[in-house]
Structure formats: C-alpha cells, structure tokens
Chain A
Amino acid sequence: MSNLENNLPDEELQAANEETAEEITAESVIEETAEDTAPDEAAEESSDEAVAVSAAPPLKQKTSKIPYEKRKALYGLGFVALWLVGTIYFFLMPLIQSLIYSFNETQVKSGKMGMKWVGFGNYVKAFRVHQEYSKQLVEVLGDTALKTPLILIFSIFIAVILNQKFKGRTFARAVFFLPVIIATGPVIDIINGNMSTGGYAGGSEQFSTLFEADLVDQLLNFLGVYNISDKLTTIINNLTSDIFNLVWNAGIQILLFLSALQGIPFSAKEAAQMEGATAWEYFWKITIPYISPMILTSLVYTVVDSFVDPGNGVMTIVLNTSASWEHGYSAAMAWAYFLIVAVVLGILVAIINKFVYYEVE
C-alpha cells in the first residue's frame, strides 16, 4: 500500500489512511479465502499474494467495490487540487471581486478600494449615458457575426488544400502558421499601424493600397454589370480589403481543421472512391461530417478571440475607463459585455451542436 500512499497530498492523507484501514480488513478476508481455496500452496506465498492483491484494483473491485472507487475519486481530487487552489485564489476571487466592483462606485485608496454601493447604477450609466458604449457593442457583435463564418470557411478551405499532397507542402504549412506566433503580440500592432500615431505606413496599409479601392467595381463593369446596389459593392469591397485580416486571423483555425482532417479514417475515403464520389460530394458527405466537431470548437474559439481582442471597440472603451481610474464603471461595462457574449455563445453552441456529427465507436 505504501507506494500508493506516499504520493497523496497532505490533506488527503488522513482520509486515505481511513480507507486503507478498511482495505486491510478487506485484504485479510481475501487472503483467508485464497488460503481456503488453495491450501496446498506454501504459507510464505501468502504475503506475496497480498502485495499482488493490493496492487491489482480489478481484482479488488469484486470484493470491495466502493472503497476502490472512492479512493480513485480521492486521487482524482488530488491531481486537480493544485489547480483548484490556484483557481480559487487567482481566478474566482478576482472575478467575484470585480463583480462587486461593478455594483459600486470605486475610489482608489492606498491599500484597498474605497466603495460606495450604487446597485445597477454603473450598468444603467454604461448603456444610457455613455455615448459610445452601446453603439460599439452593436458594432462588435455585427462585425463578429460577419467575420466568424468567413474565417471558418476560409480556414476549412485552406486546411483541405494543405492536407493534400504536393511539393512544398511543409513550407506552405509553415508560412500559414506563422501568424499564430506573430499575431498575438505587439508586432501585429505595428504591422497594422495601430500605434498611437495616426496616418501610418505599416505593412498592412501599404498592402491595401496595392489593390485599387474600386477594383471590384471595375471588374464588374468589365463584365458588363453596372449599377448593382451600393450596399453589395461596399460589402464586396470590404471583403477584398479585409483579406489581410482574414489570413492573419485564421492561423489557429487552420491548425485545428488540419488536425481534424488527419483524423478522417482512410476507410471512409476508400469507400467514397469505390462508390465513385466526386471531390465535391466527398467534401460535403465525408469531410464536413467528420470535421463538424472541430467546426464547433473553431467557432467558439473564433468568437471568443474576436470578442476578447483588446483592439475592438468595446474592449478599448473598457480599458480606457479602467485607465482613468473608474474601476467600478469599467467592471460593469466588462461584465455586461461578457454576459452578452456568453448568452450569444450559448445560443450558437446549442444550435450548432444539433448538426454536429459525433462518431460513435
């Protein structure tokens, strides 16, 4: 038993000791029965047998099921305990604290936060009084709604291509994952020209001037399409000029889809070929169902990533408010935003989950 015990964290030792006391009695019972059934075996082997029994949970499951399960549960808690302690101190406590701030008018004093209870005052103020907050909120929601499907479709497309066999695939993959290591840092700010100074000549600015703004218009005119609705033109224009952001934001999603594509069993592909499926049919009837769980994951990741991005309108307002020492007010804004995001995500996941195909093995 000792080799099982010495790994337990301190707080669980006592409980485990009680457990072992129970188990020792259980073991002795087993020993007796073992000796009864096999009396011709030498007595010195019984001690070896006891060790074997104590180290063989499946055997013990028959005789004392509950203690074993309980013990495993304790070990599980032991493995999680470190994280749990940390989460309470570094995550839950600050989270609850900020929720409390959001209901108070705060004042920074030395050593603590001075607070005056205002109820939902901060929330009302955020939506009613703040000039930009509601507007930006709607804008961010709309932006995400437009961007997310685009990123998902694009990254599935690229992942399918990168999954094919061709020369230079390793290089192409390396390039496509490059944004993953660069795009989360301040370098992307310099590339995008979002530094404090305006009117900027970073890489992305230069890039968008590469394409004439009305290239799309000209193309449509060339094809003989005139005067289609302005809205459509602006949407198409936005899409083409956004391709930079699209490519730079899709790194992780491509990675996720690629990993899902690798998981499609070869037998499925073979069967499709035998039945004479075209590439198009193969994509819709084999690829999409198999990667649908990953579509859900990527959707959640994309939405969260877009909402949490410190560059978006709402986050900027929240951070600016916080920087001007109005912590209660900024906490209220952040919480309202977070709750809206959580509700949107919850609805999305609930809907999409119905279409996800889980392979039952």
Chain B
Amino acid sequence: MATKKEEKEFEKERKAAIKARYKRMKEEGIENYLTPDQIRYNRNKRIIGMVWPFFRFLILFGLCFIILYPLIFMLSTAFRPNEQMNDPSIVWLPKSFTMDNIKQVWQVMDFSNTVLKTVRLNLIASLLQVVTCSITGYGFARFKFKGRGLLFALVILMILVPPQITTIPLYLQYAYPKPEILARLLTLNFDFSKDPSLIDSGWTMYLPAMFANGLRAGLFIFIFRQFFRGLPKELEDAAYLDGYGPWQTYIKVMVPNAKTSFLTVFLFSIVWYWNDFYVSSSFFTNSGTVALSLKNLDGTLVQQLFQGQSVSVRQIIVWLEAGCILSITPILVMYIFLQRYFIEGIERSGITGM
C-alpha cells in the first residue's frame, strides 16, 4: 500500500507522462495514432475541463451564500443596537456595535447554568447511547438467532415511528414509575409523603439511552450494524482462535476497529440531543436545556425584558438572534474542530455498504 503522499506523486508522474506522449504524438501527426472519434472525444474533454471549474465555482459560491446567509444575518443583527433595526440606511454593517443584547439574553436564558446542565445531560446520554447501540448493532451484525429478522424490523420501526406518538404514554410511565423503590433510589427521593416521579430529572434521558432507546437510537443501531457487517470476518475468527470469547472479541478487536464510526455516532448523538426540544419539553416542566430556553425565548423576553408589554418582532429580533448565536456557538465550535470526522467518519462508517 502506497501512502497518500506517494499516491499523489504517482498521479503527478502519470499525468506528466501522458502529456509528454500526447506532445510527441502531435509532433508526429496525431492522425496516425487516433481515430477522428477519439480526437473529438479528447477535445471535448479538454474544453469541459476548462469551462467546468468556472461553473462549479459559481454554483458552489451561490449555494454556500444561501447556507451562510442566515448566519451572517445573525451576526449582523445580534451585535446591533435595537434602535438601528429600523434604520433603512443599514443593510449589513451597523453604525455601532454593542454587547448588550448578548448580555441581556445571557441573563434571561440563565445561560451559564443552562449550558452546564445541557452539556452534562448531552455527554452522559450520548455516551450511554453510543455504547449500548454499538453492542446491539454488533449483535445484529454478527450473530444468527431465531427471530433476528423480526427484531431488526423492530429497529426499522423505531426509525419510522415519530416520537410524538409515544410521548404521552411515556410521560405516564415516567410520572408514575412501576417499581417505586427503584425510582426513589434513582432520584434520591426518600420522602415517602411525596410520590416518586422521574419527570424533571435527567433519568428521563439517561434511562432510555442506557437501554439503547434514546433519541434516534434506531438509526444509530442501523449504522453500527452496517459498519460491523462490513468488517472482515477473519478478524473475529482470529480472535476466537486466540481464545477470546464473543464479548472479549467485541471489546478488544471490534471496538478499536470501529473508532471512526463510534466518533461519528457520538457526534451525531450530541448534535441531536443538543437540538432536541420536543422530547425534553415533554419531560422537563421548567426550561432545562439550551434548546428549550431558546424555543421559549420570545415568551421569556417579553416577560422579563419588556415587563409584559407586547412588542413587535422587528424590535425583539436582535435578542432572538443573539440567543441563536449563544446556543449554536458551543456546537459550532465542536463542528469546526471535528468536522473532519463528521465527513470522513460517515464515509467510512459503513452506511455505504447497504
């Protein structure tokens, strides 16, 4: 196996050789070597090769603009004093910059507490989810047992059924958990005058994640199954021959080989937990997470900043966009540092091997 650098050099050499040969052929009269069809093909290819990069640049530039537009708009408004929103002479660059919006929104969202709570919730749930989903995916990928097809159909069903269908019964399950003692132990609620309830505690997120049933768990199990199916069978056979059991094989052989797909799933899991507001709004009664408090931001802004007066959107927009900036910054920073893994990871994560 040649390394990437070597491959690049080979490519360069090959191209140079082709060019040299073509030049020689041209000097000797190209008609001797190629049919008219081939000449036309080569010419067309050359022309397209020259024109296409230009079009490609135009298309990509336009589309990147569309994607970045709201973000630029966000930056432009969030640091703009409120009064300047109605100034028609300002398009992008405000006349003065201010940090007041950010500070006020920080206070209203109680951001330092919220973000800590969200990060803790995210990390624990995502870690649990990745571990359990990978175990399940491995079970589906490499073992034959009765009813495997049926159980895997259940995984597909998990992907298809929207969480909105199961939320209300789930709420009842969490609010009145069946083995009461267990629920009391989990929430450290030993006051027997109060009913045990998991609502408002992190366990509504951790418990499903612990049993491979967290947010979008079906999709993650699917990804892991596809990945493990793509690994060569010889790896396992070698491990068995060396005296490993299936569990040890999984830990010591499969997991190190699946690093990229672990990272990909972990990142996606964090993104989805970070952005989720439907499930968390069902199980947390007070604004607990960043996504939730952003969702309720215009309500809380009116209450706390404007003392209940109704305000037009045009006025409130600067605070809303400031809130957006606050809530996407942590995940954006993570993305900028790890985007390589998002892209490369999914390319190698075996979703390819359908």
Binding site for B on A (CB under 8 A): 3-5, 7, 51, 55-58, 69, 72-80, 82-87, 89-95, 97-98, 101, 111-113, 158, 161, 164, 166, 172-182, 184-187, 189-191, 193, 195-204, 206-207, 243-244, 247-248, 255-256, 258-260, 262-263, 276, 278-279, 293-294, 296-297, 304, 307-308, 310, 315, 318-319, 322, 327, 331, 334-335, 338, 341-342, 345
Q: Known interface pairs A73-B144, A202-B317. Does A315 touch B164 (Cβ–Cβ under 8 Å)?
A: yes
Instruction: Report Cα–Cα, A37/B160, bound state, in Å.
Output: 59
Q: Which residue of B lies closest to A171 (CB)?
A: B64
Pick the contact of A191: B70, B168, B212 (CB < 8 A): B70
Cross-chain contact A197 with B313 (CB below 8 angstroms): yes
B111 within 8 A of A: no
Binding site for A on B (CB under 8 A): 37-38, 41, 44-45, 48, 53, 56, 59-60, 63-64, 66-71, 73-74, 132-133, 135-136, 138-140, 142-146, 148, 151, 154, 158-162, 164-170, 172-173, 176, 207-208, 210-213, 221, 237, 240-248, 250, 271-272, 274-278, 291, 294-295, 298-299, 312-314, 316-317, 320-321, 323-324, 327-328, 331-332, 335-336, 339, 342-343, 346-347, 349, 351-354
Instruction: Report Cα–Cα, A181/B312, bound state, in Å.
Output: 29
Instruction: Report Cα–Cα, A7/B291, bound state, in Å.
Output: 40
Cross-chain contact A91 with B158 (CB below 8 angstroms): yes
Smallest distance from the beta carbon of A94 to chain B beta carbons, Å? 4
Main SS at interface, chain B = helix
Cross-chain contact A80 with B274 (CB below 8 angstroms): no
Cross-chain contact A94 with B169 (CB below 8 angstroms): yes
Cross-chain contact A335 with B63 (CB below 8 angstroms): no
Cross-chain contact B271 with A55 (CB below 8 angstroms): no
Cross-chain contact A161 with B248 (CB below 8 angstroms): no
Q: Known interface pairs A187-B324, A294-B354, A318-B164. Does A161 touch B56 (Cβ–Cβ under 8 Å)?
A: yes
Q: Known interface pairs A247-B63, A259-B346. Does A3 touch B70 (Cβ–Cβ under 8 Å)?
A: no
- The 7 A-B pairs of least Cβ separation, nearest first, read A86-B211, A76-B143, A79-B139, A185-B275, A203-B70, A7-B247, A97-B169
Cross-chain contact A3 with B208 (CB below 8 angstroms): no
A198 CB contacts on chain B under 8 angstroms:
313
Known pairs A51-B243, A101-B168, A293-B354 / 8 extra A-B pairs, C-beta < 8 Å? A56-B241, A82-B212, A83-B139, A172-B64, A191-B70, A207-B66, A276-B41, A278-B45
Pick the contact of B313: A83, A93, A199, A322 (CB < 8 A): A199
Smallest distance from the beta carbon of B16 to chain A beta carbons, Å? 17
Cross-chain contact A278 with B212 (CB below 8 angstroms): no
Cross-chain contact A72 with B274 (CB below 8 angstroms): no
Smallest distance from the beta carbon of A240 to chain B beta carbons, Å? 12
Instruction: Report Cα–Cα, A297/B64, bound state, in Å.
Output: 25
Contact sample, A vs B, 17 pairs, CB 8 Å cutoff:
A72-B145, A75-B143, A86-B208, A95-B161, A95-B166, A97-B172, A164-B56, A172-B64, A174-B343, A176-B67, A185-B328, A198-B313, A199-B312, A204-B70, A207-B69, A256-B351, A278-B41
Pick the contact of B138: A56, A79, A175, A293 (CB < 8 A): A79
Smallest distance from the beta carbon of A181 to chain B beta carbons, Å? 5
Cross-chain contact A190 with B164 (CB below 8 angstroms): no
Smallest distance from the beta carbon of B53 to chain A beta carbons, Å? 6
Smallest distance from the beta carbon of B339 to chain A beta carbons, Å? 5
A94 CB contacts on chain B under 8 angstroms:
166-170, 173
Cross-chain contact B241 with A255 (CB below 8 angstroms): no
Instruction: Report Cα–Cα, A206/B150, bound state, in Å.
Output: 49
Instruction: Report Cα–Cα, A71/B37, bound state, in Å.
Output: 64
Cross-chain contact A331 with B73 (CB below 8 angstroms): no
Instruction: Report Cα–Cα, A345/B208, bound state, in Å.
Output: 27
A278 CB contacts on chain B under 8 angstroms:
41, 44-45
Cross-chain contact A80 with B139 (CB below 8 angstroms): yes
